[in-house]
Amino acid sequence: MWGCRNRGNQVLVVIGMFCGIAWADTCPDWSPERLRLEIKALDSQLGRWDEAYFRQGSGLIDDEIYDGLLQQLQDWQRCAGEHHPEGHNSKLPMGKLQHPVAQTGLRKLADRLAVEQWIQGRRDLWVQPKVDGVAVTLVYRQGILVSAISRGNGQQGENWLAKVKAIPAVPNALQGAPANLVLQGELFLMMNDHQQQAQGGLNARSKVAGMLMRKPLSAELKRLGLFVWAWPDGPATMAERLQQLAAMGFEISQQYSRPVKTLAEVEQWRATWYRAPLPFVTDGIVIHQGLVPQGRYWQAKPGDWAVAWKYPPAQQVARVTDVEFAIGRTGKIAVVLRLVPVRMDDKWIRRVNVGSLALWQRWDIVPGDQIAISLMGHGIPHMNRVVWRAQERVAPIVPRPENYHPLSCFTLQPGCRQQFLARLVWLSSANGLNIVGLNKAGWQTLIDHGLVDGLLGWLDLTPELLNRVPGLGERRSQALYRQFRLARQQPFDRWLIALGIPLSPKQSAALQSWSQVEQMTPEQWRDIAGIGVKKSQQIRSFLQNPAFLALISRLHEHNISGFGSVPGHAVITAPPQQPTAD
């Protein structure tokens, strides 16, 4: 029903909002030459998809992805100062048959607040599912179907009479119809108990278009239905129009139309139709005002007597602005993409986790690329795929993975800040020493003021040193110092885990002192449940690493329980650690 992917030369006026999906896009920080390059490339690709869509009836791309990329093109054209009043598809054949009444579009409302504002002061309001298909105008003379016109540009369209006559759901003759009858509606793919929330859009719009575009006529046309959503110059009220439509054989329009008065009622039907089994695919709801202007006043642009409130998209296009590399405490490198913020459901998405460095390298994503994202469980954004690659590709500087591993960055060395900070966060967490009130930001502050440059540097801090940190204050300094003193009293097994030795609480519980740990053989390690050959080797690597043993010596010097006797390692100085640059 007036889908975003009409692909006619209807002018789409969009300022930060498209098809009910919020964008916070700003003009990219590109040179004019690059902006023109990107516009030309994307415009050409959209043209190829349009060619397949209009001429062959082949949908080569998901409807919502096409909509998102078309929006991106229009944003870029706006940034470049380009004005295209004829719309994107003006070069494609839109047909020459004049619509007896122009097909209007629908203004898409972003959220419940916008809906509430729109319904205020209006009467005779009705809500319908926003059926996802292809728009058509039907003309009956003396009850006989004499014309069927594609939407085209809203003013002119193609002659679809032969195609529509092959659709059993569209009556060729009507009983009791006015002498001259013009109807506008949606040709849709008939479904059995389709649940929009669970099944999504299924690319239904493209499938319907494909059936209608094929030559010769496709036998699949019998799978199409018709939902009439407008009767220009019909009866004065919506109830009368629906009743007479049903009497003429268009019962489905009456069946799925409900009168509403309040926002709560609108929300109720929107939620119901989103979850309920329906005979068609939908992508939202349409709110109609019963009183509409005479048909001669309709124009090929959104009217003010009907609006759409779309469902959350199953996936959305987002532009990558930056590629960030997060190095964890064990040296694993994760990749996060910064995005131009997009709104999905009720949240703004500004970043998405790609996963490992190897996976990012396979995706080959750079700033400027467009990706499809969706929301997984608990509203966590997920990257589905790359849908458009920037023409000018500037690769980010990538950390060298060989520099980062479980035994790197126990101190603040060049290139070590991320992993070192991650080690500190783990050490103070509930999994480690449980230093209450000290989070990542707190550690960053201590690092930035030169108070902590080693994993155990905080052991040397005094209330006086802490009080010098701007913004910390005497009270918070004293509280943090007390937490540091409490951390010293944590049992030996908690210290092992806090330092990063790959042991679970259950595995470390039997260990009482460093002397015991040092004297354990590989066989004794493997006797502990859950420790096999691989983990035993990992543990031994820690016990033999000079930088780690330097930490053990520090604990001995501070008389931490369990580290009082460190045979052969009373004085150990750690060598410089590996990473020197990212």
Question: Is 548 in contact with 409 (CB distance < 8 Å)?
Answer: no
**Which amino acids are annotated catalytic?**
130
Catalogue the E-assigned strands of 239-391: 258-260, 282-289, 306-310, 316-327, 333-344, 347-356, 370-375, 381-388
Strand 306-310 relative to strand 107-109, pairing: parallel
3-class state of residue 371 by DSSP: strand
Longest dimension (CA), the chain: 106
Cis bond leading into 216, ω under 30°? Answer: yes
CA-to-CA distance for 329 and 418, rounded, in angstroms?
Answer: 8
Look up residue 413 and give its two tokens.
């060395």
CA-to-CA distance for 215 and 278, rounded, in angstroms?
Answer: 30
CA-to-CA distance for 305 and 182, rounded, in angstroms?
Answer: 18
Look up residue 343 and give its two tokens.
């709104």
Question: Is 514 in contact with 554 (CB distance < 8 Å)?
Answer: no
Radius of gyration of the chain (CA): 33
3-class state of residue 216 by DSSP: coil
Q: How far is CA 506 from CA 297, 509, 549, in A?
A: 77, 5, 23
